[in-house]
Amino acid sequence: NLKAVIFDLDGVITDTAEWHFLAWSELAKSIGIHINKEFNEELKGISRMESLERILDMGGIAHTFTEKEKVELAQRKNKYYVQLLTQMTPENIFPGIRKFLEELKKNHIKIGLASASKNAPSILDALQITEFFQVVADPEKVAKGKPAPDIFLSAAEKLSVNPRNCVGIEDSIAGLQSIRDAGMFSIGVGTLDIMKEAGANLVLESTAELTLERLNGMFNI
């Protein structure tokens, strides 16, 4: 049965997936690359440096930058992004998420975060939901980022819960693979086709549909 719910952050708890996209678009534009929404799906859940590499590869100019310059580009993207984050308030929490967190807490279901973002702790603070999370897995301490299962497994381990008793919630193709390979039940939040193709066990088009009743229903089958 269900013992823990492990959340992705960007694109699941709040709309930062869009903000990451805006910041990358701005950075890409400054070096002559255009990124569209379809390509952006491949960046979701992927670390900052790896995202940069994919963008440079797509633009065919990866070889024109030194490692140091790449680090500077990634820092510039993060600067745009952190600038956007200054607007973040609890009103930016996606529909139903706070209520769902309260419901889980009340029912003693453990709550973890498995985000690839180094900005995750400050975002939870800005949204005023840090108190709900018993564990925030550190993306810098896991060997491999999404789509590897490491970060979801790390969260489950720190919660002392068997992955089989965990539900993972994601909005990204890489993240859903990560949940699957961790041996957890996956919920994909987003466009039906994309989430289905990414192998989500359950697809929800809105976070407003997240309820404990629905989860329990699936675990009792």
171 is an interface residue for Mg ion by CB under 5 A: yes
Does 177 interact with ligand B16 (rule: CB under 6 A)? no
Are the C-beta atoms of 184 and 166 separated by less than 8 Å? yes
Count of residues binding ligand B16 (CB under 6 A)? Answer: 20
Angle between helices 16-30 and 48-58 (to 10 degrees): 50
Residue type, 184: M
Q: Distance (Å, rounded) from C-alpha 178 to C-alpha 181?
A: 5
Q: Which does 142 bind (CB under 5 to 8 A by kind): Mg ion, ligand B16, none?
A: none
Is residue 207 part of the contact set for ligand B16 (CB under 6 A)? no
Among 27, 28, 46, 215, indicate the residue that binds ligand B16 (CB under 6 A): 46
Taking CB within 5 to 8 Å according to partner kind, which of Mg ion, ligand B16, none is near residue 115? ligand B16
Residue 144 as a binder of ligand B16 (CB under 6 A): the answer is no
Among 10, 100, 137, 198, binds Mg ion (CB under 5 A): 10
Integer distance in angstroms from the first to the last C-alpha of the chain? Answer: 10
Measured CA to CA, the distance from residue 45 to residue 102 in angstroms comes to: 25
Which span (95-103, 111-119, 129-137, 200-208) binds ligand B16, by CB under 6 A? 111-119
| DSSP category for residue 138 | -
**Looking at the annotation, which residues are catalytic?**
8, 10
Contact 132, 111 (CB under 8 A): yes
**Binding region for ligand B16 (CB under 6 A):** 8-11, 17, 20, 43-48, 51, 78, 115-119, 172
